[in-house]
């Protein structure tokens, strides 16, 4: 993994240990600005601050070359980074911080790939409904050569069965990365609510939520940054492709759980049914923003509904939307939209769900 020729008696870890605890002389702080690029991926760069910021207002708008990230043409490349959320930095620790930034052009308009801007407006407009989301982020670990991590070279592992929530060698892969990511999210203050190994070997899930409104997209993107960044330390790639391996292997989704003030109140099932009747009418509009290549995943097999048709059911993992059994029994609570692919932009998905529930 180490690209450098080093004394064989020294490990990279022991070399790095010399620098790990270096503190700046004068209280300076590193702020990692993180943003979404033109390829639905993440970029980041670091700024030195004179002191630890107390709030977002202490952070300045920065800029970068949008022509190098697929976000702007070369002749007008300066793209602005507006800080929108701040977290403790589990990689650098101390007073250092992670800054989620949204991209704008010089004239103040949202960058073409900034879907947060529209989402904020929707969430503010419907704040009185106090919408909560919980997203189940599935992903696949790949080695440097894009093979599923830990799969036998040139072959396949045994058929699916022992891997979901698996325990023990051969049943799970790279739990150390999962554990490191889990702890890092908790340190940062991300509302990660759990993790589990998935049905396909080397595929994992973590859940973020319940989160209020815009916070859902913000925390999910920050959790993805941490996942990529930590896997980088291990030389492992993270894929959010919805069907990384064709054939009899489960795809990867981002089940999106939703509740509102009305759905959580007594008799809330009625509100849920009203929302879902609207969902049925706008199925294809939703599918358009539920991720590329999602047709490879939504086949009606492997615990998915078919992409052509919307349906919902109680406890049905083959439906587009599932109402958990416990919710049906209680008569109120939340529902689970199972259609979104693992690669979604959560701002688009939470946005269209809000729009369909309250503006359609």
Q: List contacts with ligand ADP (CB under 6 A).
A: 132-134, 136, 193, 207, 209-210, 255, 257-259, 264, 333-334, 336
Report yes or no: 144 and 238 within 8 Å, Cβ to Cβ.
no
Q: For residue 253, which of 321, 315, 314 has the smallest C-alpha distance?
A: 321
Interacting partner of 40 out of ligand ADP, Mn ion, none (Cβ under 5 to 8 A depending on kind): none
Residues with Cβ within 8 Å of residue 354, at least 6 apart in sequence: 122, 123, 126, 131
Residue nearest to Mn ion according to CB distances in the complex: 255
- Closer CB to Mn ion, residue 337 or residue 355? 337
Nearest distance, CB of residue 7 and ligand ADP, angstroms? 46
- Closer CB to Mn ion, residue 35 or residue 87? 35
Interacting partner of 258 out of Mn ion, ligand ADP, none (Cβ under 5 to 8 A depending on kind): ligand ADP
Question: Which pairs count as long-range contacts for 66-73, CB under 8 Å and 24+ apart, including other chains?
Answer: 66/38, 66/103, 66/111, 69/37, 69/38, 69/39, 69/43, 70/37, 70/38, 70/39, 70/113, 71/37, 71/38, 71/103, 71/111, 71/112, 71/113, 72/105, 72/111
- Closer CB to ligand ADP, residue 64 or residue 334? 334
Nearest distance, CB of residue 138 and ligand ADP, angstroms? 10
Interacting partner of 209 out of ligand ADP, Mn ion, none (Cβ under 5 to 8 A depending on kind): ligand ADP
- Closer CB to ligand ADP, residue 102 or residue 349? 349
Nearest distance, CB of residue 133 and ligand ADP, angstroms? 6
Strand partners, 96: none
Which residue shows structure tokens 């396909």? 200
Nearest distance, CB of residue 303 and Mn ion, angstroms? 8
- Closer CB to Mn ion, residue 82 or residue 255? 255
Interacting partner of 250 out of ligand ADP, Mn ion, none (Cβ under 5 to 8 A depending on kind): none
Interacting partner of 157 out of ligand ADP, Mn ion, none (Cβ under 5 to 8 A depending on kind): none
3-state class of 341 per DSSP?
A: strand
Dist. CA 180–CA 183, nearest whole Å:
5
Residues at the contact surface with Mn ion, assessed by CB under 5 A: 136, 205, 255
H or E segment and range at residue 12? helix 12-20
Dist. CA 338–CA 255, nearest whole Å:
4
Which residue shows structure tokens 């790095």? 16
- Closer CB to ligand ADP, residue 95 or residue 336? 336
**What are the distances in angstroms from CA 183 to CA 68, 206, 286, 303, 338?**
32, 12, 33, 29, 27
Nearest distance, CB of residue 257 and ligand ADP, angstroms? 3
Nearest distance, CB of residue 135 and ligand ADP, angstroms? 6
**What are the distances in angstroms from CA 220 to CA 26, 115, 289?**
34, 14, 17
Interacting partner of 210 out of ligand ADP, Mn ion, none (Cβ under 5 to 8 A depending on kind): ligand ADP
Interacting partner of 333 out of ligand ADP, Mn ion, none (Cβ under 5 to 8 A depending on kind): ligand ADP
Interacting partner of 343 out of ligand ADP, Mn ion, none (Cβ under 5 to 8 A depending on kind): none
Nearest distance, CB of residue 131 and ligand ADP, angstroms? 8
Q: What phi and psi, each to the nearest 5 degrees, are found at residue 142? A: -120, 155
- Closer CB to ligand ADP, residue 35 or residue 279? 279
- Closer CB to ligand ADP, residue 83 or residue 291? 291
The single-letter DSSP state of residue 74 is G
């Amino acid at each position: 993994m180490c690209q450098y020729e080093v004394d064989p008696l020294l490990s990279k870890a022991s070399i790095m240990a010399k620098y790990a605890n270096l503190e700046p002389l004068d209280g300076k702080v590193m702020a990692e600005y993180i943003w979404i690029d033109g390829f639905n991926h993440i970029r980041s760069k670091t700024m030195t601050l004179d002191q630890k910021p107390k709030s977002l207002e202490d952070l300045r708008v920065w800029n970068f070359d949008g022509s190098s990230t697929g976000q702007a043409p070369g002749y007008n490349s300066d793209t602005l980074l507006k800080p929108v959320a701040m977290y403790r930095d589990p990689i650098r620790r101390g007073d250092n911080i992670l800054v989620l930034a949204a991209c704008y052009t010089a004239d103040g308009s949202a960058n073409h790939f900034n879907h947060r801007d529209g989402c904020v407006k929707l969430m503010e407009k419907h704040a009185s409904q106090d919408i909560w989301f919980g997203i189940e982020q599935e992903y696949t670990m790949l080695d440097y050569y894009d093979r599923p991590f830990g799969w036998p070279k040139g072959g396949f592992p045994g058929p699916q069965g022992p891997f979901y929530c698996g325990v023990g060698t051969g049943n799970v892969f790279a739990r150390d990365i999962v554990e490191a990511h889990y702890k890092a999210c908790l340190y940062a203050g991300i509302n990660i609510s759990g993790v589990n190994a998935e049905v396909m070997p080397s595929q994992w899930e973590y859940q973020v939520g319940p989160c209020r409104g815009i916070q859902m997209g913000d925390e999910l993107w920050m959790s993805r940054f941490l996942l990529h960044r930590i896997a980088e330390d291990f030389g492992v790639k993270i894929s959010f492709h919805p069907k990384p391996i064709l054939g009899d292997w489960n795809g990867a989704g981002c089940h999106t759980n939703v509740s509102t003030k009305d759905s959580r109140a007594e008799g809330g099932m009625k509100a849920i049914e009203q929302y879902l009747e609207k969902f049925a009418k706008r199925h294809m509009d939703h599918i358009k923003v539920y991720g590329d290549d999602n047709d490879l995943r939504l086949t009606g097999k492997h615990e998915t509904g078919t992409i052509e048709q919307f349906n919902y059911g109680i406890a049905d993992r083959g439906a587009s939307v599932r109402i958990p059994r416990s919710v049906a029994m209680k008569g109120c609570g939340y529902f689970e939209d199972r259609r979104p692919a693992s690669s979604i932009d959560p701002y688009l998905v939470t946005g269209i769900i809000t729009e369909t529930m309250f503006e359609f």
